[in-house]
Structure 1
């Protein structure tokens, strides 16, 4: 089966755009990832703005990435000739560049809107393009066309080509204030494209294992979802692309989820970039709240501030009429007990790789705050990593990550701070958490771990228990857990996160979970099975090598926000662990690890 056609992803590490297979920019927030979009036609074919460059006559198109870059190349074929369109967001500028080389004329339509399509644009036609202004605000978008062009009768239509044409869209907050930047000449167009190409190519890391194309594309996605000024990592580039069309499961993911970003930071570290990992850790530790829950929200804006609540954009029809379109995310008010452990795990891995004692000491105040809070409140029910709404429980994965937080704290207190008293205290609490998890198995009357105290079925998150060193992969209870997961959640080597929640049945597998299962088999020493699972997950990429959050196992169509950080981080982590599998997996807690806890099984 061929991979489905879907959007190409552009980024300049400040914001991102999506370009359709037929050369239409259908998504572009300015000036940041989490800003309002000036193009959002993917969320409403009528009201959402867009920017298209296409041949005048019937055409076929094909789309690829420029080699090892986030530059999207679209080639048009017509009976009269061909045209190539190269799209990119220049590094360091709030702008979109579209470079055309054509032996046929094309039609350019530029129709920005403001406030997610709530406001059309006031416009002024100028000699080399147009100026579009927010009718009630300071935002301005300037279109500049350099090369053969002719204004057409409709206000937002131009004919461009044949020949080379450079088209630039610049964004500003006030035309008079930003006039120099918005009217900057395009004399250095080739240099801008070349600099952008080299920027992305330099962002790759050496890799000599299997699936190198998937590894490199995943690295470029992670780089593209990185906010360049501080190293924050975005969960996804979009809002409201539905998990299942018409099911109401569409959310805004344009934030720094502690969990998702920690997974990506781990991937970067494993791939050989401790600097990027440290930048993220530093960003995250600087959000720690000394009053109340240290990570006060499950996610943050790219500048480290909190996002509060969500609102529905009722004037937009939604992707394939999946309403409502949401901006913001009500999960901002949830208690999620796993996230301190998610972050601290990466801190431990960073310490183990670099032994950067200066960094650990500098941020010991934050680490101390995180671990101390978990030590006191680990019994708190929460929404889990699945962010259930109105269904709090003592979820097994959340309790596992509380144990991880405490074990990391114990290890760092002993190794980095030489504080044996604090290390012993946290280790004792970790033992109590572990006892509680084993006791819960006894209370359930089932021979395997379950999702939570009041949710006596399995979920995919249970696969992470050996990945964090809580149990060995051959532990009898985990072995039965794995067997039950594969019997109930595995379909054609894709893994569902669970089968049903209070919003109804889950229709599609969760792309991250298949990589979790592959990593379990790596630890079991079954490389053949692990390789098969990795290959199966990679079937779920689009024609451009990109993952969404969910995958239709029959059609391989992507579902959910796109591209998604989770699976691209998982690609890198799984492939790097595949390289080290023959050498064995080190115990993450060294001498502190205690799997068999008195009073357990």
Structure 2
């Protein structure tokens, strides 16, 4: 009788591979548990993360008499290595990656997933569990086979797996001795140009070389370099290069806390999140992502015609992202519902206008870019600025996307100020003195209103809304976008008040007032990173470093973070990997690191 078990129940102890066209999540046992095709927001053809039952879909290499595993990335790359060992010390290694490299003058990033298996020791026996499904797990594929491939057809897609393992064993899920290297290449229904092993080897070599060259060009801080590299690669993989959109996370419906019902679909492009991604990568001299994103962003700006802009769009500029529930999926650890789409597309979130201009502003000043922004782009952004000034003191859903409450949120007004402020600076670069005065005057009006109407004498802090008293972590952004001197007594008092009201030890929640689902239970990672930034700015660098070290330990074994951290258990919750959280890792390291000239 085979003693086979899956030792790793669903968790966020996952690695991500990808190539800026698609991505896949792989657990510590080398099980592929999430992969949407043909793009990030597509059908999860492997969905075991949300349905670990027999009805779920996965791709696993199960080792007979499994005992333990090891997992790590090939240094400075997006190539994942997982080693599985049995009770006799025999083992195999699975190398997973999505090909990405320059070929024939263009970036080669096919919808292809490569899994390479090799023997580490002994004569281990394994079986291959290869069970893609379509239409969110509701459709089993039609399966056909050739001499060296298996074809899965359904849901308008055809997946072809070319492999040099015994096809009969793969289809029957039979254990067999791994006595030689084996290669699996899943991709379009096309014949390979070269042999299976030659193709897999070539793709791996070129992909490793690409990522090492990409990483080598980063301007890293002296300290925490491995953490910054992993965060940077993760952010790069969140770019959908075909259009330039940046998704907030790769998953849907991982709850913010167990049983909370706060289950959302994050596989879309929020202009807010994308700005923070661009800014973080810019800070370590990776500006290509900004150039790609600006292609997508200017499409959104021009089509808006100076009018309303949604807080998020699909990665192909889709406006309609209707939210619905899939009842047939049990959800992550049984924590339903599973949602597809996001109702936030209907919201009015007025910080969006500032996020647009903040995301684009460096393109006017940076001489390294292939195509710097100029007067034509400035005219389009001025229309966005006009909208920002028009609505800065109007009620909205705010950056936390409250579904049943509208207020004049401080964070929205703050980003409207940032829009006007950055337009004045761009006008200076373009040599337009009249526009400098115009936007500086508007920025000053908004700043005056914020400093007056967001300040709460009762709380001795900047509140979350004009005339309000509730506290919100987003007030910390006042210093980050340079609206207020961090040494201003009001800002320091706000930091103190937020620490008392929103912090559970090192962790920080978003806000204190109950929302549509009650009071938040988990800490929101980006808020903790905002706190780290604020503490460093006001001179409490030692405290900031202590909290940063806690956040580094909160990452999973591969250096990745989700949206939320449970302050008691330390467990990760929320969608994964969350770009906001990875942004925080980079920002904190850059802010806190000792300078290079301290050691050289």
> What TM-score results when the alignment is normalised by the length of structure 1?
0.89
- Using the alignment, how far apart are the partners of 1:383 and 1:182 within structure 2? 53
- Using the alignment, how far apart are the partners of 1:198 and 1:153 within structure 2? 31
More displaced stretch, 373-382 vs 546-555: 373-382
Specify every segment of 5 or more residues in structure 1 that has no aligned partner in the other structure, as ranges: 173-177, 584-601
Give yes or no for the alignment of 1:99 onto 2:116: yes
- Using the alignment, how far apart are the partners of 2:548 and 2:38 within structure 1? 36
- Using the alignment, how far apart are the partners of 1:375 and 1:439 within structure 2? 17
Q: Find the residue that maps to 1:54 and give its secondary structure.
A: strand
Give yes or no for the alignment of 1:566 onto 2:580: yes
Report if the CA contact (8 A) 1:36-1:114 is conserved: yes
Cα distance, 1:371 vs structure 2: 0.8
Q: For 1:70, which of 67, 74, 78 is the aligned residue? A: 78
Report if the CA contact (8 A) 2:164-2:183 is conserved: yes
Alignment of 1:274-423 (within 5 A): 274-289=287-302, 291=304, 294=307, 296-354=309-367, 359-413=373-427, 415-423=428-436
Structure 2 match to 1:145: 163
Q: For 2:132, which of 88, 99, 112 is the aligned residue? A: 112
Q: 1:106 to 1:129 in 2, by over 3 A?
A: farther
Cα distance, 1:110 vs structure 2: 0.5
Q: 1:443 to 1:161 in 2, by over 3 A?
A: closer
Cα distance, 1:398 vs structure 2: 0.7
Q: C-alpha root-mean-square deviation of aligned residues, in Å?
A: 2.5
Cα distance, 1:98 vs structure 2: 1.0
Give yes or no for the alignment of 1:23 onto 2:30: yes
> What TM-score results when the alignment is normalised by the length of structure 2?
0.89
Give yes or no for the alignment of 1:58 onto 2:88: no
Q: 1:550 to 1:159 in 2, by over 3 A?
A: same
- Using the alignment, how far apart are the partners of 2:583 and 2:313 within structure 1? 19
Alignment of 1:519-530 (within 5 A): 519-530=533-544
- Using the alignment, how far apart are the partners of 1:351 and 1:104 within structure 2? 58
Structure 1 match to 2:550: 536
Report if the CA contact (8 A) 1:508-1:551 is conserved: yes
Report if the CA contact (8 A) 1:150-1:160 is conserved: no
Q: Find the residue that maps to 2:480 and give its secondary structure.
A: coil
Cα distance, 1:303 vs structure 2: 2.6
Q: Deviations over 1:168-201 (max 9, x none)?
A: 222x4xxxxx444699755332111111112222
Specify every segment of 5 or more residues in structure 2 that has no aligned partner in the other structure, as ranges: 1-10, 101-108
Q: Find the residue that maps to 2:430 and give its secondary structure.
A: coil
Structure 2 match to 1:599: none
Alignment of 1:196-207 (within 5 A): 196-204=207-215, 205-207=218-220
Q: Deviations over 1:235-259 (max 9, x none)?
A: 1111111111221111111111111
Cα distance, 1:120 vs structure 2: 1.1
Report if the CA contact (8 A) 2:353-2:387 is conserved: no
- Using the alignment, how far apart are the partners of 2:229 and 2:206 within structure 1? 19
Structure 1 match to 2:460: 447
More displaced stretch, 212-221 vs 60-69: 60-69
Q: Deviations over 1:371-404 (max 9, x none)?
A: 1111222222111111111211101111111111
Q: 1:157 to 1:460 in 2, by over 3 A?
A: farther
Q: Find the residue that maps to 1:107 and give its secondary structure.
A: strand
Structure 1 match to 2:521: 507
Q: Deviations over 1:515-546 (max 9, x none)?
A: 11111122223322222222122121001110
